[in-house]
């Protein structure tokens, strides 16, 4: 096996429409829901029989929005402030020799729609449109290693406090569908999607992060992140 060509078995439908703002690991935003549409011939109900007995599944997927051929032996992970280089294999960077991602997500429901199977997932960190190459059940007795040593990323990242400006509160009050995403919106901003070198520095810039059909505008105010406004989104930047 000198090379292996993969074909998608499914595709992700996610409120994350661009890379900016996606949490850097699964589970950081437990409320986010995604739909995994299975693709023929693997969309038959038989292919997921018994999967509903598992609370979590692994997804092996492609970093489809990352240009290929750009992987280098070292990367500068945001967790290290973006200025220390480590080996690409010591990181979870999306710029990898083979652009494969690995995420454990909660399996909420196996649903049949017109005879085709789809999975409803929670807590994912996947971009809309992500091709999925494999789905495997999570095996806690083999894969839960609470005492493993986590290197430079031994603990979750730190959350920043978030406040909402009046315009943002008004946008939420006007739209019940949007209001249902309130916790998700706050969580995305709380994990501070800004480039690592910005965090902690004085930063006057207004950032926009796309969630579903909306653009969330926010700015740093000292250590707090302020959601300034929430507006109907322009076309995604991808």
Within 50-109, the residues that bind its own copies by CB under 8 A are 50-51, 53-58, 60, 62, 64, 73-74, 85-92, 96-100, 102, 104
Least Å distance, CB 68 to its own copies, is 9
Number of residues lying near its own copies (CB under 8 A) = 73
The interface with its own copies within residues 161-220 (CB under 8 A) comprises none
143 or 170: CB nearest its own copies: 143
The interface with its own copies within residues 2-31 (CB under 8 A) comprises 2-9, 25-28
41-46, long-range: CB < 8 A, 24+ apart: 42/9, 42/10, 43/10, 43/116, 43/117, 43/118, 44/116, 44/117, 45/112, 45/115, 45/117
Phi, psi torsion values for 232, nearest 5 degrees = -55, 135
Length in residues, the chain: 238
Q: Does 137 bind its own copies (CB under 8 A)?
A: yes
Q: Does 139 bind its own copies (CB under 8 A)?
A: yes
48 or 171: CB nearest its own copies: 48
The interface with its own copies within residues 145-164 (CB under 8 A) comprises 145-156
The region that residue 119 occupies, defined by phi over 0 for left and psi between -120 and 50 for alpha, beta otherwise, is beta
Phi, psi torsion values for 65, nearest 5 degrees = -95, 10
């Amino acid at each position: 096996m000198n090379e292996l060509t993969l074909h998608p078995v499914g595709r992700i439908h996610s409120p994350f429409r661009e890379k900016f703002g996606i949490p850097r690991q699964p589970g950081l935003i437990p409320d986010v829901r995604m739909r995994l549409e299975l693709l023929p011939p693997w969309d038959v109900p038989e292919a997921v029989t018994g999967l509903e007995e598992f609370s979590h599944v692994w997804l092996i997927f492609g970093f489809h929005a990352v240009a290929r051929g750009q992987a280098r032996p070292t990367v500068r992970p945001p967790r290290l402030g973006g200025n220390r280089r480590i080996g690409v294999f010591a990181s979870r960077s999306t710029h990898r020799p083979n652009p494969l991602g690995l995420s454990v997500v909660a399996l909420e429901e196996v649903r049949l729609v017109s005879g085709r199977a789809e999975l409803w997932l929670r807590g994912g960190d996947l971009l809309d449109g992500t091709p999925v190459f494999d789905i495997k059940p999570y095996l806690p007795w083999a894969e839960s290693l609470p005492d493993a040593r986590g290197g430079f990323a031994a603990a979750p990242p730190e959350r920043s406090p978030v406040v909402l400006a009046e315009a943002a509160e008004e946008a939420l009050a006007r739209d019940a569908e949007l209001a249902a995403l309130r916790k998700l919106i706050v969580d995305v901003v709380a994990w501070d999607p800004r480039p690592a070198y910005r965090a902690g520095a004085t930063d006057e810039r207004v950032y926009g992060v796309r969630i579903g059909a909306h653009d969330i505008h926010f700015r740093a105010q000292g250590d707090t992140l302020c959601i300034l406004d929430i507006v109907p989104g322009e076309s995604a930047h991808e």
